[in-house]
Amino acid sequence: MILTIQQILFIVIALVVLISAVLVVTTRNLFHAALFLVVSFFGVAGFYVLLDAGFFAAVQVMIYIGAISILFIFAVMLTRDVITSARGNSQWIAAAVVAAAIFIIAAILLGPAALIIRGREFGNVQWSDPNGPAATSATVIGDLGRGLVSFNQYAVPFLLGAVLLLVAMVGAIWVARERRSRDMAAERAAAAADDIGSDTDQPVQEELPLPDNSMATEKH
Amino acid sequence: MSVFEVINNILKIVGDAVAGLITSLLGAGALSEIVVMFIAAFVICGFCAVAFMAMTYAERKIVARIQDRIGPNQAGPYGVLQPLADGVKMFTKEDTTPATADRWVYNLAPLVIAVFALLTYAVIPFAPSVVGANLNIGVLYVIAVGSGSTIAIMMAGWGSNNKYSLLGAFRTVAQLVGYEVPMLLNVLPVVMLSGSMSLVDIVERQTLANGAHGIPFILMLPLSALIFLISGIAETGRSPFDLLEAESEIVAGFHVEYSGMKFALFFLGEYVNALAVSIMFAVLFLGGYAGPVLPPYIWLLLKAAAVFTVLMWLRGTLPRVRVDQLMSFNWKFLVPMSIVNVILVMVLAKVFVADPALAAANGGIAVSPGMQALILFVSNGVVLLSALGIVARHARQMRLVEAEDLEKRRAQNMLVAAKAVAQ
Amino acid sequence: MRTDFTFVAVMMVAAVLMMGVALVGAALLRPKKPSKAKLETYECGMETVGDAWVQFRAQYYIFALIFVLFDVGGVFLFPFAVAYNSLPLYAVGILSLFILILLGSLLYAWRKGVLQWD
């Protein structure tokens, strides 16, 4: 069997996505995990390009790499010690089993569905049809736009999406305020401790609090 | 073909000649196509490198003049060889990696940032039918690639394992992601009015060809243009939004630890991004390569140079903003104003339609393009002025409250002093 | 479309090659005399205490979250903008509603004081 260029590219991208995804869950450094996740996202954008869905590729890069991974990295930096905190997890076997089960179910359900949608037979799969119509052109993006605002298509889900974003904002602020009041309590406690005259060894930095004394002292 | 036409289309003629040569050498097919593409890509990258050198020189010279200095004047006449001298220095300077750094991340970051900066140029139309890739998502592609550089900055800040670096990277990323929102919102009216995200189509809408109106979008959407420029400056991290470098606070931000060639790549990324913002502004709002008499590519470069001159001017005159001002200015001023502006443009351009056929099909009043432009211009101005008015009123109230407070404290002090004297 | 993105891929490879050559060339040309003091982390001459990889404040996270929401909302608007010319007026109404809900969430955040950097 001779592979076409698209098939070779697909295999290469799939390998990149898979390997980096595995590294995300196996690496012990949380920041590295986030970076491997970025690589994985980038590979998925490559899939969209191979599917001629340029709009989704751009959205993938913009939202997932430009926004979600930044969010992840900020979240990573909220954890106490970034490098060593991935201390193995006693539930990983259960997690692996569940993930595998979901994957198999999804493959069984979605695989044939995708083939049926493309109007092809099961045994005779062609990954990319060079003679097929280009899926995403300017008109397709325009159709998507028209669909988003027409009532017999997606107008209602579209507006519900906006409401969902609003709810997400409210939730985020609620969580953040909780955290902030807790932070302030911690700061007050720290200030009280300073008054008593405990260690003043830490560097005083406005935006880089070192609440974790253990780390600083271990190194000495 | 006259000499004039040859000069106007020189880029296309040379490109076709090279493509023909390659095809005759390798035969028609995928291979020669790819080779031609590689040549084009290297030409674009080379253009960026040359532009980078020219821009560093121009900026140093012009900012020096603004600040009443002379600027580089030793290397060559008027110091024009300064960029070359800098290049030689960067190439031969020792390059250290801190012992505690996260090696892979640290060393990859400059490469990633430079590559993302160069990728923007793949979609920019330099002249009619001289464009790397006429993507139908051009605008979105540029913004997406621009957002990719945040990851590189995060990598640099983290990889250095330096507190200043990490702090600088965090600030930078908060700034970059924040200012991406107004940028996105102000590209939107342009896309609406031109009906396409392709940069080629957007430029074509601003030329007189094919029944387009020939009005540059800056005359229709001055407020969008202004906000795009401001957020573009913030996206490239230039003064007055250069908190990421803030020499006096966090020494140099995320690239403290970098030296030699890696530092040069960060610098290249910064300037190439600044040029990209200038070119994008020229393409979106000034009509790109459209213009009379001069060849199109010269027009594009002239417009981009004009925008970059404005950036240099701002850099030379404005003081750096504080981090809280930066955030407030974005989220409390630019974003709400952009949203109101987008809605107004959306409604007005639908009610006053420039194309009679569309007006008949979708309802709305058919007006001439000039009239539509005037209406949009006025509405943009009204939004800007009322926003400024609200801010000014708020500021006045704040000042009054502060003055009252001061007065109260002064009276109290007088009282205390009087008591002390009495005792 | 496919060939257009081919150029993007080619551009990526070309940029990596060019920058890689610059890095490798510089690595061959430059001197390499590391010493212990040279490889220390720079901190204005002070000796560095511990790693920089420590806990950061939550505010960055909140701003990133707000950004994600607006980014997602903004992306939805682009297909609409492409179709804008052929849409009737009521579609603009729906879009305005969408954007106003986004604006509402921003105003909520403002009201709750999370937009205040401190």
Contacts 24+ apart (CB under 8 A), B296-304: B296/B8, B296/B126, B296/B127, B296/B128, B297/B11, B297/B126, B297/B127, B297/B130, B300/B125, B300/B126, B300/B127, B304/B275, B304/B278, B304/B279
Nearest neighbour of B136 by CB, restricted to A54, A61, A67? A54
The pLDDT assigned to A123 comes to 40
The pLDDT assigned to A12 comes to 92
Nearest neighbour of A176 by CB, restricted to C4, C94, C114? C114
Instruction: Kindly report the nearest CA distance between residue B180 and chain A, in angstroms.
Output: 10
The pLDDT assigned to B305 comes to 92
Q: Report CB contact under 8 Å: C64, A180.
A: no
How far is the C-alpha of B166 from the C-alpha of A77, rounded, in Å? Answer: 10
- For residue A128, how many other CB atoms are within 10 A of its CB? 15
B412 domain residue, yes or no: no
Does residue B160 share a domain with residue B73?
no
Q: Report CB contact under 8 Å: C69, A169.
A: yes
What does the DSSP 8-state code read for residue C86? G
pLDDT (tens digit per residue) in A6-59 = 788 889 999 999 999 999 888 878 888 889 999 999 999 998 888 878 888 899
How far is the C-alpha of B175 from the C-alpha of B164, rounded, in Å? Answer: 16
Q: Report CB contact under 8 Å: A58, B137.
A: yes
**Are the C-beta atoms of C25 and B92 separated by less than 8 Å?**
no
The pLDDT assigned to A136 comes to 43
Chain C hits for B358, Cβ within 8 Å: 85-86
The pLDDT assigned to B162 comes to 77
Determine the straight-line distance between the first and last CA of chain A, rounded to whole angstroms. 62
* Domain termination residue (choose one: B92, B116, B150): B92
SS3 state at B319: coil
What does the DSSP 8-state code read for residue A63? I
Cβ burial, residue B280 (10 Å; 0-12/13-18/19+): buried
pLDDT (tens digit per residue) in A179-200 = 656 666 666 666 665 554 444 4
pLDDT (tens digit per residue) in B310-343 = 998 888 888 888 778 888 888 888 999 999 999 9
Q: Report CB contact under 8 Å: B331, C92.
A: no
Q: Look up the ipTM and state it.
A: 0.88
Domain residue extents for chain C: 2-111
The pLDDT assigned to C55 comes to 63
Peptide bond into A211 cis (omega under 30): no
How far is the C-alpha of C48 from the C-alpha of C41, rounded, in Å? Answer: 7
How far is the C-alpha of B167 from the C-alpha of B421, rounded, in Å? Answer: 51
Does residue B39 share a domain with residue B169?
no
- For residue B418, how many other CB atoms are within 10 A of its CB? 10
Q: In B36-163, where do the E strands start and end?
A: 125-127, 130-131
Give the count of domains, chain B: 2
Taking Cα atoms as reference points, which of B226, B215, B145 lies closest to residue B186?
A: B226
Place of tokens 């179709």: C83
B348 domain residue, yes or no: yes
Percent of chain B, pLDDT > 90?
A: 20
**Are the C-beta atoms of C64 and B174 separated by less than 8 Å?**
yes
Does residue B288 share a domain with residue B205?
yes
How far is the C-alpha of A184 from the C-alpha of A123, rounded, in Å? Answer: 63
Q: Which residue of C has its CA nearest to B198?
A: C82
How far is the C-alpha of B308 from the C-alpha of B277, rounded, in Å? Answer: 9
The pLDDT assigned to A194 comes to 54
What does the DSSP 8-state code read for residue B2? -
CATH homologous superfamily of C2-111: NADH:ubiquinone/plastoquinone oxidoreductase, chain 3 (1.20.58.1610)
Domain residue extents for chain A: 1-88, 90-128, 137-195
**Are the C-beta atoms of B105 and A35 separated by less than 8 Å?**
yes
Sign, CA dihedral A175-C102-A53-B130, equals: negative
User: In Å, how far from its chain's centre is CA C43?
Assistant: 27
Q: Which residue of C has its CA nearest to A141?
A: C79
B422 domain residue, yes or no: no
CA dihedral A46→A47→A50→A54, nearest 10 degrees, is -70
Does residue B225 share a domain with residue B213?
yes
Nearest neighbour of B335 by CB, restricted to C7, C18, C106? C106
Nearest neighbour of C117 by CB, restricted to B49, B324, B343? B324
**Are the C-beta atoms of C61 and B170 separated by less than 8 Å?**
no
The pLDDT assigned to B81 comes to 86
Does residue B83 share a domain with residue B67?
yes
SS3 state at B365: strand
The pLDDT assigned to B227 comes to 93
Helices (H) and strands (E) in chain A, counts: 8, 0
How big is chain A, counted in residues?
220
The pLDDT assigned to A77 comes to 77
**Are the C-beta atoms of B155 and B107 separated by less than 8 Å?**
no
User: In Å, how far from its chain's centre is CA B395?
Assistant: 29
B413 domain residue, yes or no: no
Nearest neighbour of C66 by CB, restricted to A49, A155, A169? A169
Residues of C numbered 57-76 whose beta carbons fall under 8 angstroms of chain A's beta carbons: which are they?
57-62, 64-69, 71-73, 75-76
**Are the C-beta atoms of C61 and A75 separated by less than 8 Å?**
yes
State the residue range of the domain holding B360. Answer: 94-398
**Are the C-beta atoms of B141 and B276 separated by less than 8 Å?**
no
Q: In B73-203, where do the E strands start and end?
A: 125-127, 130-131
CB pairs under 8 A between A and B: 70
Chain B hits for A66, Cβ within 8 Å: 144, 147-148, 150-151, 177, 180
Q: Report CB contact under 8 Å: C25, B97.
A: no
Going residue by residue through chain C (118 aa), what tens digit of pLDDT does each one get? 456 788 888 899 999 998 888 888 888 887 777 777 667 776 665 666 666 666 666 777 888 888 888 888 888 888 888 888 888 888 888 888 889 998 998 888 888 877 777 6
Element holding A148 (H helix, E strand): helix A138-149
Q: What is the CATH number of domain A1-88?
A: 1.20.120.1200
Does residue B24 share a domain with residue B55?
yes
How far is the C-alpha of B193 from the C-alpha of B183, rounded, in Å? Answer: 16
Place of tokens 């009252």: B404
Q: Report CB contact under 8 Å: C14, B41.
A: yes
The pLDDT assigned to A39 comes to 93
Task: Identify the bridge partners of residue B366 per DSSP, sorted by sequence position.
Answer: B353
* Residue B126, φ and ψ in degrees, nearest 5: -85, -30
Chain C hits for A41, Cβ within 8 Å: none
Intervals of chain B under pLDDT 70: 1, 210-212, 243-253
Percent of chain A, pLDDT > 90?
A: 15
B420 domain residue, yes or no: no
Residues of C numbered 7-26 whose beta carbons fall under 8 angstroms of chain A's beta carbons: which are they?
8-9
Q: In B54-118, where do the E strands start and end?
A: none
Q: Report CB contact under 8 Å: B154, A73.
A: yes
The pLDDT assigned to B341 comes to 92
Chain A hits for C96, Cβ within 8 Å: none
B421 domain residue, yes or no: no
Contacts of B74 (CB under 8 A, 6+ apart): B82
B419 domain residue, yes or no: no
B256 domain residue, yes or no: yes
Taking Cα atoms as reference points, which of B281, B272, B271 lies closest to residue B199?
A: B281
pTM above 0.90, yes or no: no
Element holding B366 (H helix, E strand): strand B365-366
